[in-house]
Structure 1
Amino acid sequence: MSKGLPKRSEDYSQWYNELVKKADLAENSPVRGCMVIKPFGFSIWEKMQSALDAKFKDTGHENAYFPLFIPKSYLSKEADHVEGFAKECAVVTHYRLKNAEDGSGVIVDPEAKLEEELIVRPTSETVIWSTYKNWIQSYRDLPLLINQWANVVRWEMRTRLFLRTTEFLWQEGHTAHATKQEAIDETRQILDVYADFVEQHMALPVLKGVKTESERFAGAVDTYCIETLMQDGKALQAGTSHFLGQNFAKAFDVKFTNQEGKLDLVWGTSWGVSTRLMGALIMAHSDDNGLVLPPRLAPFQVVIVPIFKNDEQLEAIEKKANEIKENLKAKGIVVKYDGRKTHKPGWKFAEYELKGIPVRIAIGPKDLENNTVEVARRDLLEKNIIPLDDQFSTGIETLLADIHQTIYKKAEQFRADNTHHADSYNEFKDIIKNKGGFIYAHWDGTPETEEKIKEETKATIRCIPLDYGGETGKCIYSGNPSKGRVIFAKAY
């Protein structure tokens, strides 16, 4: 099954593209720049959704849904916001088609022009804050903690499955608060929620920080982020949480009567993660044999494959396999039994290895005699004969936990091995060119220096670490004073 996959060391980009397709995660759609997420890929996204949704609700948030279409005038109300998204917007100008008179097909009816064009949602701040104006009158209505699961469109010229597509799936939280500090606390809380999810479910260590002014979300006062490192040494932004200040409240006149009876503007946040997390999951852990999935996100954590020569053997094996399956399910483990007669066991082994299923159990006639099974773990490509005793289910439960820890520690060690410090611009350029990874380096805090470094090296400031300011120094580019090291990297 993994034959035909390029090696990561030879062509990482092609390896990624082929793996996404061969593992049945997604494929390009007939619509340029868009993707079809296939059932196996979507089941991983559903696991992500479920875990995140539970975390949001545990922190007091509720789900709602807002329109896909946004009146053009709404985007004009917040200047930084419209400037940030203007070049990515898809615009609906007409509402009807008609048959062409020459019989060539359907055309846009020129008589059906909209009075005001509609923007296909690139993000929902404007339509949501226009709604919040009607929902918020008093401090008793705050905080307002809303999340929505939706699709958005940001027009992309160069696309890549999961990482950058014209349409993608995501969640976007939008909250309103009575005080500045409450909004900041919310922003930081969600950053921690994202970091916890990525580490505990995706088995991927993160760096937390704040974006520079040029990199922050359009219309935000501050953008907090989590950054991850992929196996090719490039960074990937895994989630962002934005402190909006009162910018959108001002734009949409969202005011409330505070406890002193005075009228005040509310304070806002927005935050989101998308199907880009699927790209991070693939690139952070997978190998030349295929996917390596963390147990908590695998569509099923254990697959049982029977080895048989005739129906009589299969019937006996199925009976035992069902016992194993029920015992594992009682532990909360998701199990699939693959009894297909159309594919040989070796083909199934290769399929589940390619798809990254954490644990594979093989059981044949000799196993029935010996009351054993063969257990293979995907992450280390190891297999052992295990007795089917009273401790078997607990042993599999422990094995899954160990797989998560092993995958996490491997990613953590990779990040440590590919994190560098640069004290001069020549050293910085050498690391970017020959090593990659995260680089801690001093920066003078100016957008001009940031842009020059980006132009000359293609590296961007991924974030200002939350402990920024611990070590003063001189900027690697300008030589001017620096308050602390920031994190540079080439990125997706």
Structure 2
Amino acid sequence: MKPKASSEHEEHIGKAGGKITLRADDYPQWYQDVIREAEMAEPAKVVKGCMVIKPHGYAVWEKIQRELDGRFKATGHKNAYFPLLIPQSFITKEAEHVEGFAPELAVVTHAGGEALDEPYVIRPTSETVIGYFFSHWVDSYRDLPLLINQWANVMRWEKRTRMFLRTTEFLWQEGHTAHASHEEAQEEVRRMLGVYGDFAEEVMAMPVIRGVKTDSEKFAGALQSTCIEAMMQDGKALQAGTSHDLGQNFGKAFNVMFQTQSGARDYVWQTSWGVSTRLIGGLIMTHSDDAGLVLPPRLAPIHIVIVPIFRGDDERSRVLAACAKLRDQLVDIDIAPPRARYRDFLEVVVDDRDMKPGAKFYDWERKGVPVRVELGPKDLEKDQVCVKMRVDSEAGKGKEFIPTAQFLATVRERLTKFQDALLAAARQRTLARSVELNTWDEFLRTFAGEQSSFAWCHWDGTRETEAKIKEQTRATIRCIPLPGQGPAPEPGACILTGKPSPQRVLIAKAY
């Protein structure tokens, strides 16, 4: 066996993989490079606009699923599954809905070698087909509320795609509920928006603004749409989740009626809400750096990688045995936060590949593993470990040499501090790039070229002004903030027209 390193703790010099473009040089290319080098996904070149989610990327999605699924079930929702193919006539039953989705639909016209009597649409979203089944499941107020969630894939024929953020096929969850009153439905909309907002901040370490979409930006067929908006490192916004008040629109379209307590017949009040694999794109752009992917511990598929350092076979056997022992001690540690709905044990890998330690360091850094542990003969003699955090923070700067027992006793706290530090950094970045603008000249300077910030501005509430702002700057009204989510409400003058405005709204360029 050839020697593994020229010194016990060797830092890698050189490049083991492809180059990652600097964020400051080309942010969009940096994003693609990080995904490639972390082996998160790759374009599915044989299927236009689609992607292959690789094991490391899919493991992140599985963690997102597990955490959200627990939160959904804790609020009374049950999982179900509905057909991928939807009769085209279903899509046309709700006029606003079909108009909103028409350009993105993929239609199946032939199957089994024959033309279909009626074409099917590949699911772009499921309000219509679920409305059909709700009409068969609901008859009385006693059947309500009906609280359903579906984990599925959907297809929207996108012209311009970007991995995780916007692809022709993507993975998501879509909640669909039916209620006896509008008040109950509105409460559901707010509850699920809260679930998304709490998840983004507590688990993704990604701060968000919670608000209401303008009528121009709301979901096709909804009375009102609410959303969470997150700032990426380039100042652009990412719509990270939505929760919709559908009113009785789909109830009327699919005749979803129930007998009220008074004996009358009425249409149900419905909601829908969803997040998708674009959350992974948001995760990447919120935390990653010029060295590659950075993952918050609560979503990291691997928390700790142990890299053995040795020369020759004599040292190899002793070091690998010690690495295995340390791994076994670590994997018994539960790092789930207080009051979590599940246990979350440390995921630990011993990297015993036949390659130099420096190349391993480089590889795991690009994959965003929060903690790297190096273990060599001198460490065994001193009963210590060499620890390097993926991002320097109060939990550790540079390499630290720590007694093994102390490391085992404090690793949970170390990961908690790492998670908290990522959220604090993202909050500070959002604060630093948020501005209140009062004149159109200020607005034009803020959004010149590719620049973006979170701009809090007055708007006169008209579609015409909203469209002009977008046309002239490519910035859009991301949301009308809910109470406590933006500047205190105050009357003012519209940033473009000077007409009266009751409060400031959030404007930014967006993904």
TM-score tier, shorter chain, comes to over 0.9
- 1:367-420 CA distances to partner (integer Å, 9 max, x unpaired)? 00000010110022622001012x322311111001101111111000000000
1:1-40 alignment, distance < 5 Å = 1=16, 4-29=19-44, 30-40=46-56
1:485 is aligned to 2:504: yes
Could you say if the C-alpha distance between residues 225 and 341 of structure 1 is closer, same or farther in structure 2, counting changes exceeding 3 Å? closer
Partner in structure 2 of residue 161 of structure 1: 163
Once the two structures are TM-superposed, the CA of residue 140 in structure 1 deviates from its matched residue by 1.0
Partner in structure 2 of residue 425 of structure 1: 440
Q: Distance in 2 between matches of 1:233 and 1:382?
A: 29
Gaps of 5+ in 2: 1-15, 335-344
Once the two structures are TM-superposed, the CA of residue 239 in structure 1 deviates from its matched residue by 0.3
- Of residues 420, 439, 442, the one that matches 1:405 is 420
Partner in structure 2 of residue 363 of structure 1: 375
1:414 is aligned to 2:429: yes
The answer to whether the 8 Å contact 1:172/1:273 transfers is yes
Once the two structures are TM-superposed, the CA of residue 476 in structure 1 deviates from its matched residue by 1.1
Q: Distance in 1 between matches of 2:221 and 2:72?
A: 23
The answer to whether the 8 Å contact 1:2/1:290 transfers is no
Higher mean C-alpha deviation, range 392-401 or range 67-76: 392-401
Partner in structure 2 of residue 326 of structure 1: 328
- Of residues 443, 467, 472, the one that matches 1:451 is 467
Q: Distance in 1 between matches of 2:422 and 2:148?
A: 34
The aligned amino acid for 2:375 is I
Partner in structure 1 of residue 391 of structure 2: 379
Once the two structures are TM-superposed, the CA of residue 430 in structure 1 deviates from its matched residue by 0.9
SS for the counterpart of 2:333 is coil
Task: Give the TM-score normalised by the residue count of structure 2.
Answer: 0.91
1:109-128 alignment, distance < 5 Å = 112-128=114-130
Q: Distance in 2 between matches of 1:362 and 1:316?
A: 14
- 1:285-322 CA distances to partner (integer Å, 9 max, x unpaired)? 10000011000101111111111112332222233223
The answer to whether the 8 Å contact 1:239/1:273 transfers is yes
Once the two structures are TM-superposed, the CA of residue 331 in structure 1 deviates from its matched residue by 1.6
Q: Distance in 1 between matches of 2:361 and 2:233?
A: 25
1:63-78 alignment, distance < 5 Å = 63-78=79-94
Once the two structures are TM-superposed, the CA of residue 2 in structure 1 deviates from its matched residue by 6.3
SS for the counterpart of 2:298 is coil
Task: Give the TM-score normalised by the residue count of structure 1.
Answer: 0.95
SS for the counterpart of 1:433 is coil
Q: How many residues align?
A: 477
Q: Distance in 2 between matches of 1:161 and 1:322?
A: 37
Once the two structures are TM-superposed, the CA of residue 3 in structure 1 deviates from its matched residue by 5.3
Q: Distance in 2 between matches of 1:5 and 1:84?
A: 38
Could you say if the C-alpha distance between residues 126 and 480 of structure 1 is closer, same or farther in structure 2, counting changes exceeding 3 Å? same
- 1:246-287 CA distances to partner (integer Å, 9 max, x unpaired)? 110011010111111211111100000000011101111100
1:136-175 alignment, distance < 5 Å = 136-175=138-177
- Of residues 377, 388, 410, the one that matches 1:395 is 410
Partner in structure 2 of residue 288 of structure 1: 290
Q: Distance in 1 between matches of 2:181 and 2:398?
A: 55
Q: Distance in 2 between matches of 1:52 and 1:447?
A: 35
1:37-116 alignment, distance < 5 Å = 37-97=53-113, 112-116=114-118
SS for the counterpart of 1:369 is helix
Larger RCO of the pair (alpha carbons < 8 Å, separation 6+): 2
1:180-329 alignment, distance < 5 Å = 180-329=182-331
Q: Distance in 2 between matches of 1:136 and 1:307?
A: 64
The answer to whether the 8 Å contact 1:2/1:354 transfers is no
The answer to whether the 8 Å contact 2:308/2:352 transfers is no
Q: Distance in 2 between matches of 1:244 and 1:2?
A: 48
The answer to whether the 8 Å contact 2:305/2:351 transfers is no
SS for the counterpart of 1:5 is coil
The aligned amino acid for 2:497 is S
Partner in structure 2 of residue 344 of structure 1: 356
The answer to whether the 8 Å contact 1:439/1:487 transfers is yes
SS for the counterpart of 2:301 is coil
The answer to whether the 8 Å contact 1:305/1:361 transfers is yes
- Aligned CA-pair RMSD: 1.3
The answer to whether the 8 Å contact 1:255/1:266 transfers is yes
Could you say if the C-alpha distance between residues 447 and 318 of structure 1 is closer, same or farther in structure 2, counting changes exceeding 3 Å? same
Q: Distance in 2 between matches of 1:320 and 1:48?
A: 33
Gaps of 5+ in 1: 98-111
Once the two structures are TM-superposed, the CA of residue 337 in structure 1 deviates from its matched residue by 2.8
The answer to whether the 8 Å contact 1:2/1:289 transfers is no
- 1:49-84 CA distances to partner (integer Å, 9 max, x unpaired)? 111111101111100000000001101110110000
The answer to whether the 8 Å contact 1:2/1:288 transfers is no
Q: Distance in 2 between matches of 1:378 and 1:157?
A: 36
SS for the counterpart of 2:400 is strand
- Of residues 416, 436, 445, the one that matches 2:452 is 436
Once the two structures are TM-superposed, the CA of residue 19 in structure 1 deviates from its matched residue by 1.3
Q: How many percent of aligned residue pairs carry the same amino acid?
A: 54
